[in-house]
Amino acid sequence: MEKPSWLTEAEETLIRYCGEFSPLLIQKARGSFIYTKDGNKILDFTSGQMCSVFGHNHQKIVDAIRSATEESIHLLSTMLSPSVIELSKQLAALLPEGLDKCLFVNTGSESNEVAIRMAKLSTGGFEVIGFLGSWHGMTAGSQSSTYSHTRKGYGPVIPGSLSIPAPYAYRCPIKHCTNKCDNTCLEVGMEMADRQSVGAYAACIVEPVLSAAGIIALSPGYLKRLKVLCEERGMHLILDEAQTGFGRLGVNFGFELLETAPDFLTLSKTLGGGLPLAATITRKEIEEDCFSKGFINVTSHISDPLPAAVGLAMIDILINEKMAEHAAEKGAFLKEQLEALQDKYECIGDVRGQGLLLGMEIVRDRASKEPDIELGHRIADTCLQMGLSMNIVRIKGMSGVFRIAPPLSITKEEIGLGVEILDKAIQRSLNND
């Protein structure tokens, strides 16, 4: 597509932080759609940056923002507001015993930083294990445990950053399994980490579903075994639910499917519903231990009242509008439609995921499973031209996997429209139209 004049103008003053900017200038967003400046309507299969989990500009969120601006937007970090206290109480009530104490920041990076800092202070160690292909954020500590494509060119990461392979069943990382993980990669990975460790473990940080790595889901057996291995080594288990919280997998929180509660739960993208709000949640004993050791984590916008008011609206929507049930029902319907496309097109090697967080992997052929990243990018670009926003993993050397995460408020009619556009885009891309 020819670069529009407004984009050329924008690039004169904006740092290009994500490769090339989209060639579409967005004027507004409502529900499952975004609207361009020139009036085009685009179905959003990514919920913005996976954040507008209940749809763009949900009225309860808009009302919460409006109401909060009449009270207080920002306070001194040591001062609390009713909305912050109420949000901590309601979150703790949603979670099992052992996830009792909350801290509110702005982004997923920050929430993971807090968890890592507390784990280090609590254990006295400094080594943190993460998954290859993971994404936990862009700040120093979170970035050090992010093993996707954002590491090269920025110098050393924080000492003690160790990695293990993710259980990528479709492409076994240790060439052992075929399409079904038996956890051997976990045992091998931990043995490798032990060989590298200097005996100062602090934490292991994982996602219930690795999104940036191509929608790689952990199994209940995997996480249970990982928790045991962490306990044997004196490590805290941090579960990063940036994308899997607040109903997206068909349950309120992803760990409910995995039958194992972590020592730390971090929430971000879906907690704020499009606003910058994140949380770190842990056990009372860990909080008390860290407090006794002088824990401090002060930022300019910690415990701000306005985003906390939005968090309360998000809990209201989650519970009273039964969003987890919507995700389970609509996700099953969407997955059926994608599997029908898989039957139709040889280039769709795998369809996976749960609820409304699904992956569709594009390959040259199913026998070799060789990724066809170029075709995947053509399909994504064609979809956008036809009115469907799709997110594809664009990581050099990794598979071309579509991460499909529409708002939980999406209708079956909107899903049908999206699949229809995707079908036509695949046809055109295969024919190089």
Q: Name 299's Cβ contacts closer than 8 Å, sequence gap at least 6.
A: 77, 105, 106, 110
Dihedral pair phi/psi, residue 21, rounded to 5°: -70, 155
For residues 105 and 119, give the distance between their C-alpha atoms in angstroms, rounded to a whole number.
17
* Candidate CATH numbers 3.65.10.10, 3.90.1150.10, 3.40.50.300, 3.40.50.720; the one for domain 5-54+323-430: 3.90.1150.10
DSSP code string of 90-110: HHHHHSPTT--EEEEESSHHH
Residue from 113, 240, 361, 414 carrying the catalytic annotation: 240
For residues 24 and 37, give the distance between their C-alpha atoms in angstroms, rounded to a whole number.
8
Beta strands in 98-250 (DSSP E): 101-105, 127-131, 161-164, 201-206, 209-210, 216-217, 236-240
Residue from 110, 113, 207, 361 carrying the catalytic annotation: 207
Instruction: Look up 316 and say whether it is catalytic.
Output: no
The pLDDT value recorded for residue 180 is 86
Q: Which long-range contacts (CB under 8 A, 24 or more apart) does 366-369 make?
A: 369/170, 369/171
Residue from 120, 171, 248, 269 carrying the catalytic annotation: 269
First-residue to last-residue Cα distance in the chain = 14
Instruction: Look up 207 and say whether it is catalytic.
Output: yes
Six-digit token string for 169: 């069943």
- The domain limits of the chain are 5-54+323-430, 61-320
Instruction: Look up 403 and say whether it is catalytic.
Output: yes
β pairing state of 264-267 and 236-240:
parallel
Nearest to 17 by CA among 150, 141, 136: 150
For residue 30, how many C-alpha atoms fall within 13 Å in the half-sphere facing its CB?
A: 6
The answer to whether the CB of 362 falls within 8 A of the CB of 19 is no
The pLDDT value recorded for residue 433 is 65
For residues 112 and 265, give the distance between their C-alpha atoms in angstroms, rounded to a whole number.
9
The pLDDT value recorded for residue 396 is 55
Residue from 143, 243, 337, 354 carrying the catalytic annotation: 243
The pLDDT value recorded for residue 279 is 98
* Candidate CATH numbers 3.40.640.10, 1.20.140.150, 3.40.50.970, 3.40.1280.10; the one for domain 61-320: 3.40.640.10
Instruction: Look up 71 and say whether it is catalytic.
Output: no
* Residue 170 DSSP symbol: G
Instruction: Look up 322 and say whether it is catalytic.
Output: no
The pLDDT value recorded for residue 376 is 94
Instruction: Look up 335 and say whether it is catalytic.
Output: no
Nearest to 30 by CA among 11, 58, 2: 58
The pLDDT value recorded for residue 261 is 94
The pLDDT value recorded for residue 242 is 97
135 burial level (CB within 10 Å; 0-12, 13-18, 19+): buried
Low-confidence ranges of the chain (pLDDT < 50): none
For residues 40 and 62, give the distance between their C-alpha atoms in angstroms, rounded to a whole number.
23
For residues 26 and 185, give the distance between their C-alpha atoms in angstroms, rounded to a whole number.
43
* Residue 73 DSSP symbol: S
42: Cα separation from own chain's centroid: 22
